[in-house]
Amino acid sequence: MPTELDWVTEAIGVPDLRDQRLTARLVRLVRALFAHPDASVSQACGSWAATQAAYRFWHHPAVDVRSLSRSVGDATAQRCRGEPQVVLLQDTTEIRPTAPARCSDLGPLANAESRGLWLHTTLAATPAGLPLGLLQQEIWTRSPELRGQATQRFVTPTEGKESARWLRGLQAAQHRLGPAVAHVTVADREADIFELYALAEQGGGDFVLRATQNRAIGEPAHRLAAAATTAPVLGQQSVSVLRHDGRPGRSAQVTIRATTVTLQPPAYQSYAAARRRWWAEHPEVPPMLERPLVPLTLQVVEVREEPPPANTPPLHWRLLTSLPVATFADAAHVVALYRVRWLVERFHYVLKSGCRVERLQLATAARLERAVLTYSLVAWGILRLAVLARATPQAPCTDVVPPAAWHALHVFTQRTPVLPAAPPDLATFLAAVGRLGGHLGRSRDGPPGPKTLWQGWTRLMDLTELWVIEHPDELPAPVRPPSV
């Protein structure tokens, strides 16, 4: 691939793969897949030898997914240093192969009849929504023996349940970022875990988490829902709602309320003996909390659409946060931080729909895990390109791509061999890439999204390769993208 941007080496960091040749192979593989993210492995690699090398890499026992994830996380933490605040976006998704019968050792998914992997991602971003990288990824197969154990959820401590992934994601981020980097954890309703609130408080970090449980509180209202719905109104604002479940995006007028509540810890007293037995049977599991659970004083921000459009579910977010909420501006800031959460959902969307990891036909779950983490770097690179078009539209495109790429794009789209004296800015360049991928570019369409960008990017890489063949003097040196 001619456009060897060194963001790949920077994003991978220094993984402990026992052999430097494996690291070099990983760099070449990510670059090839990034050039053709939606192509098959053989199409992206371009030759039988390179394709064999890709599959050997995913088969190699020295490629440890934990080591690779740790290296990528350390590299991301390095990029986060110097940021005034880092948003930690956590989310879980299923990896459901289209041919599960060909892959051994897969586990059940949410639908117990389906087989696949689970992937939990902690994505670092700025409050403005610029992705900084992957701080932590955890991938696993669920044991069929766990089916039906939901009734034991109070008997087993969080450390022994799958929900501990939320705490591990925060712990890893806190460890890698260190105390000097201010951070705020943002997640959806599945992360409504009291132990996660306590861990964030003990580690000195903030959080904005969407509540799903009607928890007991110490105020006269006794329950969180009653306190939230009767909280003082701070103001109203318009919130853009993304497309979801076949419904188009729209703008919602919401009322924002906020108040202070004191959450009571879960009442585990009835299960104390059973929980002590669990700890005695699992001495190898370290506790994740430094001290017992105590009541936590937090703010609840109630965001509700009043009234909703006809035949449309109303927008309703109940957000628990450790951030101060004294004014409408404070509450609006909390809402804005929660809305950044869409970024990690888009990351998973690019990984599965753009990179098509679920179409990979690998023989074992272990190989699929290595492939998913490899493609995660590709998905982050694509998502970053899409957001850069919004974040730094006036920057020259040569901050991201070598001259050969924009030369090839200009000649193809403008149908002229005459090049302009200066490269286009990033917004203009990525808009043209989006048009290659099918983006119409109308005034109401906005900038191209990840889908049209990855489709256009694939075409651009083919055009760039042809351009370099015709103009070998433009074979680019690696270019460092702007720091994000």
Token pair 């991301």 is found at 76
DSSP state of 145: G
Q: What is the pLDDT of residue 481?
A: 39
Question: Domains (ranges, CATH) in the chain?
Answer: 7-63+361-389 (no CATH), 65-354 (3.90.350.10), 394-474 (1.10.740.10)
- For 432, the 3-state DSSP assignment is helix
Q: What is the mean pLDDT of residues 168-184?
A: 94
**pLDDT for 65:** 92
Considering the chain, what is the average pLDDT of its residues?
Answer: 88
Q: How many CA atoms lie within 13 A of 206 on its CB side?
A: 19
The string of pLDDT tens digits covering residues 393-433 is 888 888 778 888 889 899 998 888 888 888 898 888 888 88
The pTM for the full model equals 0.88
The residues near 395 (Cβ < 8 Å, ≥ 6 apart) are: 388, 425, 426, 482
Per-residue confidence (pLDDT) for residue 149, from 0 to 100: 59
Q: Sign of dihedral through CA atoms 319, 323, 327, 329?
A: negative
The whole-angstrom separation of Cα 283 and Cα 280 is 6
Compute the distance between CA of residue 319 and CA of residue 334 in angstroms, rounded to an integer: 8
pLDDT tens per residue, range 198-254: 999 998 899 999 999 999 998 777 899 999 999 999 999 998 887 666 666 778 899
Q: What percent of the chain has pLDDT over 70?
A: 93
Tell me the C-alpha distance between 137 and 357, whole Å: 16
Does position 327 have pLDDT exceeding 50, yes or no? yes
Q: Two tokens at 424?
A: 């286009």
Q: What is the mean pLDDT of residues 123-152?
A: 84
- Report the percentage of the chain scoring pLDDT > 90: 54
Could you tell me which of 356, 335, 342, 444 has the C-alpha nearest to residue 386? 342
Q: What is the pLDDT of residue 56?
A: 95
Tokens 């098509």 found at: 356
Residue pLDDT, tens place only, 330-371: 999 999 999 999 999 999 999 999 899 999 999 999 999 999
Q: Give the DSSP H/E element, type plus range, for residue 83.
A: none
Q: What is the mean pLDDT of residues 311-328?
A: 92
Percent helix, strand, coil in the chain, to 5, is 45, 20, 35
Place of tokens 């810890």: 265
Q: Pick the residue with more confidence: 318 or 478?
A: 318
